């Protein structure tokens, strides 16, 4: 990205040492390092979000193709997308099913405990 060689970096370091002094140079280096780390983290998050959005868009377009074909004679790619969507839907509903079962079991247990007391 940057075409900076050893001597250019050495000159930049020497200038920073002269301008900032030996007391403030380590703090400045840590600050710049933190900025770079934050920029990389933001870049990785944006890249991951864009990849996920493209994947969702592809699944959505495959679902439209499947609907237009009336869910018959689907290509393997579209059938795989439909399976992925079904699994995602089941995964989304699963926590609610477990919570409903837990909610239904709690009152019966508390009623039994009250009767025993």
Which DSSP string do the residues of 66-96 spell out, in sequence order?
A: HHHTTTSS--HHHHHHHHHHHHHHHHHHHHH
pLDDT at 95: 64
Query: 104 or 77: whose pLDDT is higher?
Result: 77
Rounded CA separation 6/28 (Å): 20
Is the model's pLDDT at 104 over the cut of 80? no
Query: 62 or 5: whose pLDDT is higher?
Result: 5
Label residues 18-38 b or e (16+ Cβ within 10 Å = b).
eeeeeeeeeeeeeeeeeeeee
Instruction: Using CA atoms of 30, 35, 41, 44 in order, give the dihedral in degrees to the nearest 10.
Output: -130
Mean pLDDT calculated for residue range 48-67: 84
Q: What's the predicted TM-score (pTM) here?
A: 0.51
* Residue in the structure block whose two tokens are 């920073």: 16
Residue boundaries of the structural domains of the chain: 37-116
pLDDT at 3: 79
């Amino acid at each position: 990205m940057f075409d900076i060689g050893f001597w250019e970096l050495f000159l930049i370091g020497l200038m920073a040492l002269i301008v900032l002094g030996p007391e403030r140079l380590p703090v400045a280096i840590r600050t710049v390092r933190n900025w770079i780390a934050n920029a990389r983290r933001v870049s990785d998050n944006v890249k991951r979000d864009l990849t996920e959005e493209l994947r969702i868009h592809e699944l959505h377009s495959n679902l439209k193709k499947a609907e237009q074909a009336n869910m018959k004679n689907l290509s393997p790619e579209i059938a795989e997308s439909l399976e992925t969507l079904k699994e995602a839907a089941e995964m989304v509903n699963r926590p609610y099913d477990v919570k409903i079962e837990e909610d239904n079991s709690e009152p019966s247990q508390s009623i039994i405990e009250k009767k025993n007391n």
